[in-house]
Amino acid sequence: MLHRVPVRLAAAGLVGSLLAAPFAAPARAAPDTAKAGGPCAAVQAQGESFTVCTVDLRRQRVRLFWLGSDGLPYASLGSLAARQGAALSFAMNAGMYDKGQAPVGLYVEDGREMKPVSTANGPGNFHLKPNGVFYVKGERAGVLDTARYLKAKLRPDFATQSGPMLVIDGQIHPKISTDGPSQKIRNGVGVRDDGRTAVFAISERPVTFGAFARLFRDDLGCRNALFLDGSVSSLYAPNLGRSDLSRPLGPLVGAVAR
């Protein structure tokens, strides 16, 4: 069950004491944010505080950003917001990247594949298989594990690869423990079954992988969800008066007017 809480500008939030409702319960839908004048709202779930941004792709265009017109990474949410202006209703970091702010896995922007899919093994969260891909094509979006994405042979308008998957067909990633020792500020994305509603979330204080995965499955109604990053997780939400500062970022995701 979700509860809206007062808007916060800082990252720290009050801890709730809510129990997750069964997956199919209608009450799990993200709060109606229309009255707030934007897609983002403060939410309490899983005994933690989050900010959740819910985007109807029929009304807004979800897209990715990496390089500006000068060929350099945007590198910050503030830089992206300054260049996009009032059309940008929200943005956050959108996948893992190297020291030069280049995506470490698949990156597609405006139908152009700028980085290929990575199936390599290695250390870190990105390589905690299965990892996955968030993609957008027209007014529909999806989250698929990498193997299924490759098998589907999609030609998306936008796509970013990250890892690990948080939720796969309604099941928590098999390597994510219920509540492990690692706690970080985290952000991720899920897509509802209609394929037209993308749900982005960021924790307001360090949380476990388990709590973050359950947020998407049990509280946000997403049967498939992808971890985007931790520690550097940042949000631009003008309807909340929020623009986070962080270390230089790689790919970004945002919603703009259609």
Residue 159: count of CB within 10 angstroms of its CB: 27
Whether 217 and 26 have beta carbons less than 8 Å apart is answered as no
| Cis peptide upstream of residue 251 (ω within 30 degrees of 0) | no
| Letter string b/e over residues 208-247, b meaning 16 or more CB atoms within 10 A of that residue's CB | bbbbbbbbbbbbbbbbbbbbbbbebbbbbbbbbebbbebe
For the chain, give every domain's residue range.
Answer: 40-118+128-256
The DSSP bridge pattern shows strands 140-145 and 186-191 to be unpaired
Residue 220: left (phi > 0), alpha (psi -120 to 50), or beta?
alpha
pTM of this prediction?
Answer: 0.86
Segments in 12-170 forming alpha helices (H): 77-84, 146-152
pLDDT digit string (tens) for 135-165?
Answer: 999 999 999 999 999 999 999 999 999 999 9
| DSSP track, 10-28 | SS------PPPPPTT-GGG
The string of pLDDT tens digits covering residues 87-118 is 999 999 999 999 999 999 999 999 999 999 99
Strands 40-45 and 186-191: unpaired
Tens of pLDDT, residues 170-195: 999 999 999 888 899 999 999 999 99
pLDDT digits (tens, 9 = 90+) for 201-251: 999 999 999 999 999 999 999 999 999 999 999 999 999 999 999 889 999
